Amino acid sequence: MSILTSTHPTSSSRSGISLLKLAALGVAILLAIPVFIIVVNIFLGGSDVWQHLYDTLLFDYVSNSLLLMVGVTLGTLVMGVPAAWLTSACDFPGRSVFSWALLLPLAMPAYIIAYTYTGLFDFAGPVQTFIRDVTGLGYGEYWFFEMRSLGGAFVMLALVLYPYVYLMSRAAFLEQSANTLEVCRTLGYSAPQAFFRLALPMARPAIVAGVTLAMMETLADYGTVQYFGVTTFTTGIMRTFYGFGDLAAASQLAGILLLFVAVLIFAERYSRRKIQYHASGLRKASQRKIQLKGVSAVLAFLACLLPIVGGFVLPAAVLLYWAVFEAQSVGWDFVSLSWNSFYLAALAALITVALALVLAYAARLHKQKSVQTAVVTAGLGYALPGTIIAIGVIVPLAWLDHRIIDGVQHLTGDRVGLVLSGTIVALLFAYTVRFMAVSLGSIQSGLGKVKPSMDMAGRSLGCTPAQVLRRIHVPLLRSSVLTALLIVFVDVLKELPATLILRPFNFNTLAVRAFELASDERLVDAAPASLMIVAVGLIPVILLSRSISSANH
């Protein structure tokens, strides 16, 4: 229990090498390996497959990914910003319910909403069947929106990603000081003018940050675009990896995708920095809300209702209907899928949170640059698409496996199978890289509440460092550790692309099975697994909603 012996940030260095510091640096280096591998690959020479990609498909990947990002940006802005402003600055019937219900689509993975809508709106679906029955028109005689297209993909993605924009911009609107807005009114602007001239520009950095998060998720998406037949970087990486079996070309594609992500990370960091300047003032605008009546109240009601219905209520209802009335009854297969998903998610959550605790304590006790950099590095994986991480994990593990196989053969003459790359070790490694930032964030904010002076107060009241840990840290950290465990658990349960690439042979999870069934056009049969994912995914959303509504009062 030496981790509390030094309560002053810098005094620890006197004891020379600290075990905790070494552990933190080790964890950070390990978690940085996949990213490092991809970055190195950007600069390596290309293979034949790479040349082929470059000549034929690369332009498609780039243009589709860019178009998708533009579409998702527009969609999330249209749905997220008005809802955020209405629920924070105005009052109308249903406002308090909307303010948390607008987060519900966060529980809905994009690939699940994609095939739900496809089932609902494609040619054989109930909507088009109904149109044909009513009008008597046949195939090709009427126009209907083609769900499985680039346009469909960005509608789907925008429907589940707008909560990022909503959350960030709502926080910004709530932060805006009532005084500034009132000054604007006294200078002769009406309330709507004040919104466009002041509230919106002041919230801009937050809105940009929300949009960049949505764009990162868009770049990371694999399930939706694959299902809709839109070729993007992620589908390209999968194709290169599975179709051509060319790891080098796949990692080069991943490298280019990484450049896109790097630009987004930079944009997000930059706008976050500006948020600090723009939010000021002690009095909050939310103290006096604009009362909406009549038509404007109805419009506001609809502006908040439609995203929720489109992003959550409708697809969830369809899934529920399919799962209950139409899907094959669930059997042992489903139980074993759930078990796989749950233990994998639980293991990943435990590992990630344990390592996050090491990193968070190291960052608390060692203020040196090396440790701080290490902790930041360890959190980088969250910005990276699962496909990139999967490729970055499989390259070093496959290399290591071959060394092990050769080594064992050399020593004993036996041939062993893949020890790391073909097992859940690879999956757990990838999940830890991908989700370290979420658990680290939760634990660091929890640890931030345990002020250093509380450690000292405990010591001066006669507690040993171990007693301080047990009597002060453990009770105060409990809820953030649980939150971190829960969030990682749910994220792992939803994760698709990395799981698809790295899962051991014949090992299926709920997400993989739902995706495979949907890809085989067995949409209805995919419903039970999807519903399970959505239901579990609701738990952290509810927690988030509760913290929002409690902050309201």
| Cβ nearer to another protein, comparing 288 with 451 | 451
Q: Which stretch binds another protein (CB under 8 A): 7-15, 156-164, 199-207, 384-392?
A: 7-15
445 binds another protein (CB under 8 A): no
| Cβ nearer to another protein, comparing 467 with 552 | 467
CA dihedral 302, 304, 306, 309 (to 10 degrees): -130
| Cβ nearer to another protein, comparing 4 with 83 | 4
Q: Which stretch binds another protein (CB under 8 A): 71-79, 149-157, 185-193, 454-462?
A: 454-462
User: Please, what is the minimum distance in Å from the beta carbon of residue 208 to another protein?
Assistant: 34
Burial of 61 (0-12, 13-18, 19+ CB in 10 A): buried
550 binds another protein (CB under 8 A): no
Q: What is the residue-wise DSSP string for 310-326?
A: IIIIHHHHHHHHIIIII
| Cβ nearer to another protein, comparing 90 with 476 | 476
Helices (H), 223-365: 223-228, 233-238, 247-278, 294-308, 314-321, 332-365
Number of chain residues interacting with another protein (CB under 8 A): 24
Binder among 457, 535, 542, 551 for another protein (CB under 8 A): 457
User: Please, what is the minimum distance in Å from the beta carbon of residue 4 to another protein?
Assistant: 11
Give the whole-angstrom CA distance, residue 142 versus residue 476.
62
| Cβ nearer to another protein, comparing 274 with 459 | 459
User: Please, what is the minimum distance in Å from the beta carbon of residue 481 to another protein?
Assistant: 14
Binder among 3, 4, 7, 173 for another protein (CB under 8 A): 7
Give the whole-angstrom CA distance, residue 517 versus residue 515.
6
Q: Which stretch binds another protein (CB under 8 A): 3-11, 23-31, 349-357, 432-440?
A: 3-11
Q: Which stretch binds another protein (CB under 8 A): 142-150, 191-199, 445-453, 541-549?
A: 445-453
Q: Which stretch binds another protein (CB under 8 A): 6-14, 60-68, 164-172, 517-525?
A: 6-14
CA dihedral 283, 286, 287, 293 (to 10 degrees): 150
User: Going residue by residue from 12 to 31, which x/- string records binding to another protein, judged by CB under 8 A?
Assistant: -xx-----------------
| Cβ nearer to another protein, comparing 317 with 461 | 461
Give the whole-angstrom CA distance, residue 547 versus residue 534.
20
152 token code pair: 């469909």
| Cβ nearer to another protein, comparing 97 with 476 | 476
Half-sphere exposure of 60 toward its Cβ, with a 13 Å CA cutoff? Answer: 15
**Alpha carbon separation from 321 to 109, 114, 528 (Å, rounded):** 18, 16, 10
Q: Tell me how far apart the 2 most distant CA atoms of the chain are, in Å.
A: 87
Give the whole-angstrom CA distance, residue 486 versus residue 491.
9
8 binds another protein (CB under 8 A): yes
Q: What is the residue-wise DSSP string for 22-67?
A: HHHHHHHHHHHHHHHHHHHHHTSPP-HHHHHHHHHTHHHHHHHHHH
| Cβ nearer to another protein, comparing 390 with 469 | 469
Positions 458 through 477 that interact with another protein (CB under 8 A): 458-464, 467, 471-472, 475-476
Binder among 67, 279, 376, 454 for another protein (CB under 8 A): 454
Give the whole-angstrom CA distance, residue 460 versus residue 466.
14
User: Please, what is the minimum distance in Å from the beta carbon of residue 476 to another protein?
Assistant: 6
Binder among 129, 190, 280, 453 for another protein (CB under 8 A): 453
Give the whole-angstrom CA distance, residue 471 versus residue 181.
46
Q: Which stretch binds another protein (CB under 8 A): 111-119, 230-238, 455-463, 483-491?
A: 455-463
User: Please, what is the minimum distance in Å from the beta carbon of residue 91 to another protein?
Assistant: 29
Positions 476 through 515 that interact with another protein (CB under 8 A): 476
Binder among 449, 520, 535, 542 for another protein (CB under 8 A): 449
* Element at 290 (helix H, strand E): strand 290-291
**CB within 8 Å of 30: residues ≥ 6 apart:** none
Picking from 210, 264, 232, 268, the residue whose alpha carbon sits closest to that of residue 78 is 210
Which letter does DSSP use for residue 197 in this model? I
Contacts to another protein by CB under 8 A: 7-8, 10-11, 13-14, 449, 451, 453-454, 456-464, 467, 471-472, 475-476
